[in-house]
Structures are given as C-alpha cells and as structure tokens.
Amino acid sequence: MTEIDEQKTLKPKKGERLESFRNLSDIETKRLYTPEDIKDLNYELDLGEPGKFPFTRGVYRNMYRGRLWTMRQFAGFGTAAQTNERYKFLLEHGQTGLSVAFSLHTIYGYEADNEHALGEVGKEGVSIDTLKDMETLFKSIDLSKISTSMTINAPASILLAMYIVTAEKQGHTPDLLRGTIQNDILKEYIAQKSWIFPPEQSMRLIVDTIEYCTKHVPQWYTISISGYHIREAGSTAVQELAFTLADGFAYVEAAMDRGLNVDDFAPRLSFFFNAHNNFFEEICKYRAARRIWAKRMKNKYGAKKQESLRMRFHTQTAGVSLTAQEPENNIVRVTLQGLAAVLGGTQSLHTNSFDEALCLPTEKAVKIALRTQQIIAHESGVADTVDPLAGSYYVESLTNRMEEEAEAYFEQIEELGGVIPAIKANFFQKEIANASYKYQQEIEKNQRIIVGVNDFQLRESCSTPLLKIDEQVSKEQIDLLNKIRKDRDNEMVKAKLSKLKIAAKGSENLMPYIIESVREYASIGEIIATLKEVFGTYDEDSIF
C-alpha cells in the first residue's frame, strides 16, 4: 500500500464506529498493524523459542502438546465436611487439582465464635478453625497424589502447617506435597485488604515460609504472587501487570536479604493473573509478564537456573466482569476469557461459574464452567500448537507496549522508595480507585457496552437457582470448635503458644513453632492472637 492510500483510509472518521478505540488499559488500538509496528523486534532476544529465555512464547518447549493446563476450580463453602463433598464431586468430573476457598473469619484469623465472625462463617468459603477441620476437608483424598492451592494470605503459614500435619497423619512426608499457598500479603494492602499484621512483620512470615519450604517441602510453591485481586479491585491490565511484578520483585529482594540464594527459592515462586474481557490485551499481558520477569531475574537478581527465570502462573477469569443481568451470558464471557488465558500460556485455570454475580456457584454452574475448559482443551484445537499468536503485528506490538508501560510504573514505585513505602503513601490504592471510577463512568456514558447491562437490556427479570448457605453452618462450626477445646490437651496448647510467642520476639524461623502449635489443635484464632501480641496490627487510611 502506498503512503497516499494509507492516508485516505485513515483520515475520515466516518466509516468507523468510534472516535478512538481504546482497550481497558486506555491504550489506543490502531485500525491496522503492519510490519512497521514490529520492525525492531528481534526473534531470539525478544521472543525466543518456547521454553527458552526470555520465555515470551511460553515456559515449556511443548506447552499443551505435552500436558494440558491444570483445571483447578476454586471451591469452598460451609463446613469442612460440605466442602469435602464438593471436592470429591469435582475430582469425579475430571478436575485435576484442588483449590481451597476459605471463610472470611479464617482468612482474618478469628475463631468462628468471635464477634467479627458474625454472619460470615462458611459464607465465602470453607470455615476452618483447627487441624481437625483440615483433616475433615481432605478426608479420603490422598494428599500425595493431588496438588492443592490454598487462597490464604495473612495466616498462610498456619494453613500450610495444618496441611503438612494432615498429610503426615495420612502417612505422607512433606517432600511429597505439591501445591501452593497464596501467601501474597503485599497485594492485600494494595487491593484485597485481608491483612492482619503490619507489612514488615507480614514479610517476615512470608520469608519464613519460603525458607522453610525450600528446605523441607521442596515441591511446594511458596507464594502465588497475585494480580487477580488488584484487577478485581478495579485496576487496568497494565496496572495489574506492573503492580504484581513489583510485588514479586519485593519478595525476591526480601528473601535475598535473609541470605537465601536466589536460585534456591525462585523456582518455587508462582503467579496468579486475571483474565478480563479484552481478548488481545489479556494475551499480551501474560506474554509481557513472562518476558519482564525473566529479564529482571537474570539481569538484576543474577538468577542462573532456567527455572528461576520462567514465570509460571495460574489464571482465573474476571469475577468482576460477570453480570447479574442475564447470568447465562456469563458462560460466553468466561469462554472468551478462558481462551485468552490459554492463548497466553497459563499453567492452570479457574473458569468462573455463570451465577457468581449472585451467589456462590451451584453444582450445575460449576460443571458448565469446568466443561468450558474441557471444550477449549479438547475441541477448539488451540492447545495443539505453541503460542499460535506470536509474530502477529498487533500482538507483538501490544506486548511491547505493555512491557514499556509496566517499566514506567516500576520507575514510579522505585521513586517512592519501593513497594511498602508506596503502599503507605496510598500510591497503588489511588491509582486503582481512579481507574475503577473511570471505567464505571465510561459504562455510564455508554462509551463501553456491557451486553444486558447498559445496552440490549432485557426487561423481564430472570430467575436463577441460588446456592444458599444455611445459617446453621455457623452453629455447627462453633459446636465443633467447642468440642476441640474440650478434648485437646489445653496445657500443651498453652505451652506451644508461649514458645511461639517467644520465638516471634526473636528472629528465628516461626514455621516449626507454628507446626507444633497446630499439631496440638491450637486454633488459627489462637495462633494469630498470639502473634498479634508481638507484631501488632495494621490500619490504612481509607481513600476513595
């Protein structure tokens, strides 16, 4: 095409639907991408073969031709016994890994009968107080055969301790255990808000788990550095990418400050991203993430092992994109989002259930969500070749652009003194609140169309069967807790907790003390309360 032709086709705004086409990170999307847009791209340096530095094309040579991604549906509600039933249901239907959702009182380290737990027990996840509940949760599930992801942050060390002891009671040693704890506290201060202790003390607990697992639970992924919640709180894709990686680098630096060798722990760090609506933007986000991570780990932190350089990640489709209006439409949204995650090279995937804007998912909705992944995997053909979108003028140019925008954020964070000072200055919180308000306004002005919400609305209301959590759950859980309090050796619990407290005042690794406390059936609430006495708590300024 000659230059004159190009001008002719670009100039008139008429003939195009919008004045400008902008993705969810507010990056302009051009009418057409050409070789000109990727003229500086160097295949070896910028993309590389799959499984080779800088891993832009994927972390394994064969990708899904070898092994499909792990289909891992996040689940948990009610009591441990109820959730154990759901896990068995999912495993029977072909799910290949478990992912535990915990009740909010567990996440905050309150016992089920604490005043803060009022109305919360078992509502957003499974209620766990003591080792006893954990034993029930994994009853008849062989922990040496399955990998388990636990979405737990502030009390991650405690739940990991419970998992280790539960496995031990099944007859398995810790070196056989596979899975991950989310354990990512920085994004809690940034976005999801379920912190307990101040940032510095939280970082100590995280490095304790990294150090302990490096020695004793070598197959465990010690932290799942998460952008998912940053995105759900309303960030853009670029912010999700930049803030998550900045958190990742902060953990690397904290572990290195402890004296750990980067190649000893980096291979067990993993990531967790969102899959939102804009298809190509999401794919480019994952590709850029891998490249940024590999380059920094090699060049800045001096990692040498290939495993330290390759970013492995889990993806979940965007809960925030689900609509309460015409919920069945969410099945289609989830399909597109899941497809983006697969084309972006995810290692595991959770597809949301269509009824999740209304309630915790019903069994039928969960099954459709799992089937969606199976259809992508086995029917669409997209899993048969590695990184099929590489070389696309648009995809490569957007991947580059997202990397550049993320680098600009890293500079800003550095200027503020790093991630923790930036949190305390409300930097991330303000950036996210601004992005989220802007997005909402664009929807209100119909600059972005959400089908069934601000266009193509249906007048009649539709009814979807909902999963209700029986208020009885709370009573049952409190009864279980009271029984444990009666049956266990309370003197022993007291002794273990006081040892933990003394250790917390010093600088020893706390994992062995937590494991000993858990083994005696000390509750999460008791362990957290003990640590609070030493570490204190944290409050944020609530900005909007």
Judged by the rule CB under 8 A, the positions of this chain that interact with other proteins are: 104-105, 107-108, 110, 115-120, 123-124, 192-194, 232-234, 320, 322-325, 357-360, 433, 436-437, 440-441, 444, 450, 453-454, 466, 468-469, 471, 540, 542-544
Minimum Å distance from CB 109 to other proteins? 11
Minimum Å distance from CB 194 to other proteins? 5
- 46 contacts 301 by C-beta, under 8 angstroms: no
- 522 contacts 497 by C-beta, under 8 angstroms: yes
Token digits for 254?
Answer: 């904290």
| Cβ distance to other proteins smaller for residue 306 or 325 | 325
* DSSP string for residues in 250-309: HHHHHHHHTT--HHHHGGGEEEEEEE-S-HHHHHHHHHHHHHHHHHHHHHTT---SHHHH
Minimum Å distance from CB 233 to other proteins? 5
CB atoms within 10 A of CB 92: 8
Minimum Å distance from CB 429 to other proteins? 9
Rounded-to-integer distance, Cα 188 and Cα 175, Å: 29
| Cβ distance to other proteins smaller for residue 4 or 543 | 543
| Cβ distance to other proteins smaller for residue 69 or 108 | 108
3-state helix, strand, coil in the chain (%, to 5): 50, 10, 40
Rounded-to-integer distance, Cα 526 and Cα 251, Å: 27
- 315 contacts 273 by C-beta, under 8 angstroms: yes
| Cβ distance to other proteins smaller for residue 110 or 286 | 110
Minimum Å distance from CB 332 to other proteins? 17
Minimum Å distance from CB 468 to other proteins? 8
| Cβ distance to other proteins smaller for residue 187 or 268 | 187
Minimum Å distance from CB 152 to other proteins? 14
Rounded-to-integer distance, Cα 84 and Cα 402, Å: 41
| Cβ distance to other proteins smaller for residue 70 or 235 | 235
| Cβ distance to other proteins smaller for residue 152 or 255 | 152
Please tell me whether residue 228 adopts helix, strand or coil conformation. Answer: helix
CA–CA distance from 543 to each of 108, 227, 273 (Å)?
21, 21, 25
Please identify which residue in the block is written with the tokens 């991950």: 180
Please identify which residue in the block is written with the tokens 């909007």: 544
- 303 contacts 266 by C-beta, under 8 angstroms: yes
| Cβ distance to other proteins smaller for residue 450 or 492 | 450
Closest CA to 272 of 343, 344, 224, 235: 224
Minimum Å distance from CB 228 to other proteins? 13
| Cβ distance to other proteins smaller for residue 385 or 441 | 441
- Is the peptide bond preceding residue 54 cis, with omega within 30 degrees of 0? yes
What pairs with residue 98 in β-bridges? Answer: 148
Minimum Å distance from CB 192 to other proteins? 5
Token digits for 4?
Answer: 């004159």
